[in-house]
Structure 1
Amino acid sequence: MTIQTSISSWATLVVLLCASLTHAHTVITYPGYRGNNLNTNGTIAEANGLGVAYNTKNGSLYYPYGMEWIYPCGGMPTSTNRTKWPINGGALAVQPGWFPGHETALIYVNLGFGETPENMSHPVVSPFQITGPTNNPYPGTFCLPQVPLPANISVKAGDYATIQVVEVAKHGAALFNCADIIFADDHDPEIQEVTRDNCFNSSDLSFQYMYTTSAIGTSGVAMVKPQSTLLALVPIMVAVFFGSFL
């Protein structure tokens, strides 16, 4: 187990990884993501139209759309290098714009429990929309300084879990990325301090909230129940409040 580096170090790593790639993806910068899944190879024809397919020639896998299209965790296996994360919830920072087409995107955050989670079925924040500066790849991060645990879930120090961030582009494609964590007491000195250097909201990113309305008729799908609307505001409200003191 190691303490993850700051967001600036991760940003440098991502730039180097993406320099030779046609496509790049989202990156969880705090806590550090599961591993390098910035891989796009093969063609759609070679994969027979699938997101992932077996290459019989050399035993490798084709990812014509990129690994991050694969559920769960963008095609990456469980990591043995886990970040300590507070048992009462902690921070999460994401670079959402390393993939073209993400001027607008929906963000979901969920948890899977155990050393190798069977699924990522525990939402921890209400889904929200980001609005970026351009439809081309762009730098910048958003920060949720206090991501809570799901309701009625309790953990103890030493328990394993995985945080999954899902980014849904406007055309409906979803990107998956994960960070493997080990829960620790809130005051454990090995938990990296959250500062404006490793968890911040870039000035060129804005946020929209999902809401429900009856104005579009009964065929409209309610994305968030009316009574949940205020809850949907909490993560960003906390982020803004947190940022004012950094």
Structure 2
Amino acid sequence: MHTERSTPSIWTALAVLSLFLLQAINAHTIIVYPGYRGNNLQTNGTVAEANGLGQAVVNDTSIFPYGMMWMYPCGGMPTSTNRTKWPVQGGAISVQPGWFQGHATAFFYFNLGLGATPPNMSHPMLPPFQIIGPSANPYPGTFCLPQVPLPANITVNVGDLATIQVVETAKHGAALYNCVDIEFAEPKDCVQVTPDNCFNSSDIQFANVYTANLTSAASITSTTLLSFTPLVAMSLWELLM
């Protein structure tokens, strides 16, 4: 069920304004709630200067010719010193997904890394799902998962440190990374979730991601491909059930 609002929230207004100001630098995903490590909406240098690398040091300056957010694990940003409190039994995550050219469709992954500086982000919090946006151009809008659980077989305590990683993959396979460093806390000690910081825009739809076993490349026929095409649109509420 999508939550439609009769008047734009402050988050939507800020998203529209930010899109207007940042289109020239190809902005990417933003974690609206509970927050994110910092401003990694930066693209500098050229591919030639970086010799084809996603990150390089030129004249003692780090350059990101494709943009910082392409860098694993957290879009080129180091671990935060100022952490966000997040509920010890799981909680909301809200994302603005359409800040990058070409994300009319995209897959999303939510992972957890444990510890003050996680060695990896290898604990999936949810199965991957697809979003269907209104345009291949940058667009405003937010989706919110109101109750993202902890990964299976993971137990944490109040005061434990971790990092939530949000990954958005474009239709050509490239991935955008964003993170928020958290401290697990009791819900009463966390920023309140409200309709202003956790809502689903009516022009963003959702679909399941399916897999199939194919015995060989010869098995992939036009009929087979057509059978994979229909995706069942669903709400985030249904996704969490």
Same topology, TM > 0.5: yes
Matches of 1:14 and 1:160 in 2, distance apart?
A: 33
Residue matched to 2:84: 83
Matches of 1:165 and 1:11 in 2, distance apart?
A: 23
Q: Secondary structure at the match of 1:42?
A: coil
Task: Name which of 25, 37, 53 aligns with 2:56.
Answer: 53
**Aligned in 2, Cα 1:47/1:92: closer, same or farther, shift over 3 Å?**
same
Q: Secondary structure at the match of 1:78?
A: coil
With normalisation by structure 1, the TM-score equals 0.81
Gaps of 5+ in 1: 1-6, 222-232, 242-246
Task: Give the residue type in structure 2 aligned to 1:39.
Answer: Q
Residue matched to 2:4: none
| Pairing 1:96–2:97 present | yes
Task: Give the residue type in structure 1 aligned to 2:57.
Answer: Y
Task: Name which of 6, 9, 24 aligns with 2:27.
Answer: 24
Task: Give the residue type in structure 2 aligned to 1:132.
Answer: G
Q: How far is 1:213 from its partner?
A: 3.8
**Aligned in 2, Cα 1:155/1:194: closer, same or farther, shift over 3 Å?**
same
Q: Secondary structure at the match of 1:73?
A: coil
Task: Give the residue type in structure 1 aligned to 2:10.
Answer: S
**Aligned in 2, Cα 1:183/1:164: closer, same or farther, shift over 3 Å?**
same
Residue matched to 2:14: 12
Does structure 2 retain, via aligned residues, the 8 Å contact 1:110–1:164? yes
**Aligned in 2, Cα 1:139/1:126: closer, same or farther, shift over 3 Å?**
same
| Pairing 1:178–2:179 present | yes
Q: Determine what percentage of the aligned residue pairs are the same residue.
A: 61
**Aligned in 2, Cα 1:179/1:14: closer, same or farther, shift over 3 Å?**
farther
**Aligned in 2, Cα 1:111/1:28: closer, same or farther, shift over 3 Å?**
same
Residue matched to 1:137: 138
Q: How far is 1:212 from its partner?
A: 2.8
Residue matched to 1:212: 211
Matches of 2:175 and 2:156 in 1, distance apart?
A: 29
Residue matched to 2:38: 35
Q: How far is 1:234 from its partner?
A: 8.9
Residue matched to 1:105: 106
Does structure 1 retain, via aligned residues, the 8 Å contact 2:12–2:142? no
Does structure 2 retain, via aligned residues, the 8 Å contact 1:146–1:235? no
Segments of 4+ in structure 1 off by > 6 A?
none
Matches of 1:89 and 1:71 in 2, distance apart?
A: 24
Does structure 2 retain, via aligned residues, the 8 Å contact 1:18–1:24? no
**Aligned in 2, Cα 1:74/1:234: closer, same or farther, shift over 3 Å?**
same
Residue matched to 1:227: none
**Aligned in 2, Cα 1:102/1:234: closer, same or farther, shift over 3 Å?**
closer
Does structure 2 retain, via aligned residues, the 8 Å contact 1:146–1:238? no
**Aligned in 2, Cα 1:202/1:211: closer, same or farther, shift over 3 Å?**
same
Does structure 2 retain, via aligned residues, the 8 Å contact 1:84–1:183? yes
